[in-house]
Amino acid sequence: MREITYAQAVREALAEEMRRDERVFLMGEDIGVYGGAFGVTLGLIDEFGPERVMDTPLSEAAIIGAAAGAAVLGMRPVAEVQFSDFLTIGSDQLVNQAAKMRYMFGGKARVPMVVRTPAGSGTGAAAQHSQSLETWFMHIPGLKVVAPATPYDAKGLLKSAIRDDNPVVVFEHKLLYKTKGQVPEEDYTVPIGKAAVRREGIDITVIATSIMVLRSLAAADRLAEEGISVEVIDLRSLRPLDAETIVKSVCKTGRAVVVHEANKFAGFGGEIVGTIVESEAFDYLDAPVVRVAGKDVPIPYNPHLERAAVPQEEDIVAACRSLMRQSPRWRALA
């Protein structure tokens, strides 16, 4: 199968859905001629014109609000928010309008809109352009939240999001845009709400999303050399959450590590841990469930501090090792 980048996969999903359904259109800041801040929509204006690839003023409230309105009136808008940090500006429209309408109109209104947005740190973009805010939106009934880790899922999940009759927030990681992976040319979708077991193992279940899946897999490779067998679950969707896959895996391994880039306090790791300990997996736990998450600080600009503020491969390795190590410390291993 051919390999394309994550950014190309997103672009293909947008183009194919726009060809398939004329109600689909794009809105965002500089997404037309400029192709978007990360080049994701590059060239789409040439095929679909400025009415369907619409450059907007710098107002996230206007972008998301207009998308919600268009969706209620039968269109299927895909809004790009240039940095996920700016979702805070549009969140009244997203949280108080888009997420509520279907409920408040007794099911008579549908809001088939998508908000795509680049998230995460690692680009030296500092505290206001590097956050991971997925937990904010996971908390809102009426919103769906996905965070693909691979080009295949980026395309398949975005297609599912566009075809979904509810507002879906798609978190794309800035560092993933240039990663490559196999993506079919034919039409396919990845279901929202279904996790993927990326690697099977028997000692520890590592649960991650987005770029943390890649780091977890790299960590699992290293741990395998030490005889520690790690199962890696890529959640793909954060809401709805695939609790079944998580619980089944933890019942098998008896140990769980949740990895996310967002800072630990009140991050989604807590929700995953809660899901595990409330389930039948509780009786299979053989160690405390551990979260490996970002430090509780705004993302620093200094590249060394930026790296230190979010989980790296070695942090995941260390957490897994300490879970497996028997307690008494002896000098030979110190």
Partner 1 sequence: MATEVRMPKLGMTMEEGTVQVWFKREGDPVQKGEPLLSVLTDKIDIEVDAPASGILRKILVPAGQTVPINTPIAIIAAAGEIVPADNAGTGPAETFPAGTDPTGEAARRAGEVAPQGKVRATPVARRLAAEWGLDLARIPGSGPKGRVTRADVEAFAAAGQGGGPSPVPGDAATGSGRRVPLSGMRRAIAERMSLSAFTAPHVTLTTEADVTDLVRLRTTLNDEDRRHGGPGIGYLDLFVRIVARALLEHPQMNARLEGDELVLEPEAHVGVAVALPDGLVVPVIRRASRLSLGAIARERHRLVQAARSGALRPDDVHGGTFTISNLGAYEIDAFTPIINPPQCAILGMGRVVEKPAVHGGQVAIRALMALSLSFDHRIVDGAPAAAFLQRVKQLAERPELLHL
Q: Which residues belong to the active site?
A: 129
With CB under 8 A as the contact rule, the residue among 127, 286, 290, 308 that binds partner 1 is 286
Q: For residue 91, give the amino acid letter.
A: S
| Separation of alpha carbons 73 and 218, rounded Å | 46
Binding segment (CB under 8 A) for partner 1, from list 41-49, 125-133, 179-187, 278-286: 278-286
Inter-residue long-range contacts of 222-225, CB under 8 Å, 24+ positions, other chains counted? 222/313, 222/317, 223/317, 223/320, 223/321
Of residues 247-276, which lie at the interface with partner 1 (CB under 8 A)? 254
Phi-psi region of 159 (alpha: psi -120 to 50; beta: other; left: phi over 0): alpha
Indicate whether 283 belongs to the interface with partner 1 (CB under 8 A): yes
Q: Which is nearer to partner 1, 107 or 330 (CB)?
A: 330
- Residue choice 55, 285, 295, 315 for contact with partner 1 (CB under 8 A): 285
Residue 282 binds partner 1 (CB under 8 A)? yes
Q: DSSP letters of 216-262? A: HHHHHHHHHHTT--EEEEE--EEES--HHHHHHHHHHHS-EEEEEEE
Q: Is 304 in the site for partner 1 (CB under 8 A)?
A: no
Contact 7, 39 (CB under 8 A): yes
Give the nearer residue to partner 1 in terms of CB position, either 37 or 287.
287
Which of residues 2, 108, 304, 331 is near partner 1 by CB under 8 A? 331
Rank residues 174 and 255 by Cβ distance to partner 1 and give the closer one. 255
Closest distance to partner 1 from the beta carbon of 286 (Å) = 4
1 in contact with partner 1 (CB under 8 A): no
Q: Any contact of residue 203 with partner 1 (CB under 8 A)? A: no
Stretch that binds partner 1, among 17-25, 78-86, 146-154, 280-288 (CB under 8 A): 280-288
Q: What minimum distance in Å lies between the beta carbon of 248 and partner 1?
A: 15
Interaction residues for partner 1, span 82-121 (CB under 8 A): none
Give the residue with the Cβ less far from partner 1, 73 or 333. 333
Question: Is 326 among the residues that bind partner 1 (CB under 8 A)?
Answer: yes
Applying CB under 8 A, which part among 39-47, 68-76, 109-117, 279-287 lies near partner 1?
279-287
Q: Which long-range contacts (CB under 8 A, 24 or more apart) does 59-62 make?
A: 59/89, 60/86, 60/87, 60/89, 60/90, 61/89, 61/90, 61/92, 61/93
Nearest residue (CB) to partner 1, 139 versus 222: 222
Tokens of 51: 């009415």
Stretch that binds partner 1, among 70-78, 100-108, 117-125, 284-292 (CB under 8 A): 284-292
3-state secondary structure (DSSP) of residue 145: strand
In the complex, the smallest distance separating the C-beta of residue 319 from partner 1, rounded to whole angstroms, is: 14
Is 218 a binding residue for partner 1 by CB under 8 A? The answer is no
Classify residue 22 as exposed, middle or buried by CB count within 10 Å of its CB (0-12, 13-18, 19+): exposed
**Which tokens is 292 given?**
């490996």
- 186 CB-contact burial (10 Å; exposed 0-12 / middle 13-18 / buried 19+): exposed
Instruction: Choose between 198 and 255: whose C-beta lies nearer to partner 1.
Output: 255
Indicate the helix (H) or strand (E) that contains 115: strand 114-119
Of residues 230, 227, 304, 238, the one with CA closest to residue 269: 238
Of the candidate spans 33-41, 95-103, 153-161, 282-290, the one that interacts with partner 1 by CB under 8 A turns out to be 282-290
Contact between 287 and partner 1 by CB under 8 A: the answer reads yes
Site for partner 1, rule CB under 8 A:
254, 282-287, 326-334
